[in-house]
Amino acid sequence: MATTNSSQSISMPLPIFYGSDYDLWGKKMMTLFKSQNLTDIVEKGLNKPTNISILEEAQQKELEVRKQKDASALYLIQQSLAITIFPRISEASTAKQAWDTLQKEFLGDYKVRTIRLQIPRRELENIKMKYSETVKDYHGRVKVVVNQTRSVGENVTDQRIVEKFLVSLTRK
């Protein structure tokens, strides 16, 4: 469970990552990080100076705050992983290390993402309404494919969706 930093304490269950649907889990986690003001730590890292002794008192306090945020973010990542996934990041000492490790393994690098994009892109191009299908059911199928396409980084405009939808309706 995660609690918010606001004056009202709201408990919420953490999204658990079991090894599939990384893109959906990642979006949920990024929303959680935003709600806890941890996004910067996860994306950019701690940026710990090499010589702490030369820092002014205010800078040292800021560093301590950033260390605490990093520990909180790392804890949230660790707690949101299934027991079978956790060993992949068990050696990570920062939230950024853990996040980057998971992202690289489950989302892939640019080439892998480009290849992964081809499947939903092709599915979107080829989707057609089945003769026995209602418009509502077809609309739901189109939305699923559009969301899959967007989740791997493709920009699908609303205009493109409407055009695709209207062109591929049956004459029924």
Number of Cα atoms under 13 Å in the Cβ half of residue 127 = 24
Model pLDDT, residue 8: 47
Residue whose entry in the numeric block shows the structure tokens 């079978």: 84
How far apart, in whole angstroms, are the C-alpha atoms of residue 132 and residue 153? 32
What does the block give as tokens for 23? 């893109």
CB 29 within 8 A of CB 77: yes
Per-residue pLDDT of the chain (172 residues; tens, 9 = 90+): 565 454 444 577 899 999 888 888 999 999 999 999 999 999 999 887 777 777 788 888 888 899 999 999 999 999 999 999 999 999 999 999 999 999 988 877 666 767 777 888 888 889 899 989 999 999 999 998 888 888 777 788 899 888 888 888 877 6
pTM, two decimals, is: 0.64
What is the pLDDT, as a whole number, of residue 17? 94
Give residue 113's pLDDT: 67
Residue 62: alpha-carbon gap to chain centroid: 27
As a whole number of Å, the CA-based R_g of the chain is 21
